[in-house]
Amino acid sequence: MPHHVYVVGAAAAGILLVSLGVTFALAIRIRHLRVERERAATRAREGLARDLHDIVGHWLWLASVKGELARRRAAGDARLRGELEEVLQAVRQAAQAVRDVSATYRELSLPAEAARARSVLEGFGAYCSVRMDATEPPDEVSAALGTVVREGLTNMLRHSKVTRCAIELVEAGGGLRLTVVNDGAPRRDPASTGSGLDNLRRRVGELGGTVRVSDGADGWFTLIAEVPARPSEEFSRPPEKRR
């Protein structure tokens, strides 16, 4: 076979290899561009969700707090009290809608919710102490315990005449125990459970923890959540993916 045939064959093979290399490099580049585009879109959605929660959510929460205070002061006017209750229900529904939209992108945290609870209660003229005698928990644990504080605060504002509150996190039995206690609570039917408490038990239960409540004749209400300091891989997975 003539020498030039080998040269042509080698050149064709070289061109093919170069073409494959260029194609492979372009494919990788396109993949990187798609990943960057998805990341940019995710960052944009997260930023919008944070702004929605932090700005709109803040004003809705403030409206709820002020409305609750006005409703309490209107105790002697049944009609005004009823109208204020309707306003509060509308504000709460709007606030819940904001939380639902931003929940995918914004995790709660125990320190932030505890500080928020103290600020809100002080706005009502109530004293609130916060003590964290434990190392800061992992994100998923902090988010779950933050939810406990938020639900406890909501119950205080809706169902009690709170003047004193204490929020405490301690290490206990190889795990963490969060206690939220307040005064001014009415006697509760031991057999009754609200949807808020059921949701807390479900969320904390997903981490292998428990939630319990107790109230005494002296008007003190106690909400306790106990979780492992670091949930095992089994409890960290979504319930539908567990064995």
pLDDT band at 240; cut points 50, 70, 90:
very low
The C-alpha atoms of residue 29 and residue 187 are separated, in whole angstroms, by 66
CB 225 within 8 Å of CB 204: yes
Angle between helices 57-73 and 139-159 (to 10 degrees): 30
Tens digits of residue pLDDT in 185-224: 887 655 455 567 888 898 899 899 999 998 877 889 999 9
Domain boundaries, the chain: 1-106, 108-243
Encoded tokens for 75:
């105790």
| Closest-CA residue to 81 (of 92, 67, 91) | 67
* Per-residue CA distances from 132 to 8, 112, 168, 179, 205 (Å): 77, 12, 6, 11, 22
CB 114 within 8 Å of CB 130: yes
20 φ/ψ angles, rounded to the nearest 5 degrees: -65, -40
| Closest-CA residue to 180 (of 224, 150, 140) | 224
Q: Lowest mean pLDDT of 71-75, 105-109, 154-158, name the range.
A: 105-109
pLDDT band at 129; cut points 50, 70, 90:
very high
Beta strand 127-133 with 164-172 is parallel
Encoded tokens for 115:
């500080």
- Chain-wide mean pLDDT for the chain? 76
CATH topology of domain 108-243: Heat Shock Protein 90 (3.30.565)
pTM: 0.57
Tens digits of residue pLDDT in 213-236: 988 778 899 999 999 877 654 444
Encoded tokens for 129:
């102490």
The C-alpha atoms of residue 156 and residue 121 are separated, in whole angstroms, by 9
3-state secondary structure 168-187: EEEEECCEEEEEEEECCCCC
Encoded tokens for 202:
């479900």
pLDDT at 101: 64
Residues contacting residue 168 through CB under 8 Å, at least 6 positions apart: 130, 131, 132, 133, 178, 179
3-state secondary structure 59-89: HHHHHHHHHHHHHHHCCCCHHHHHHHHHHHH
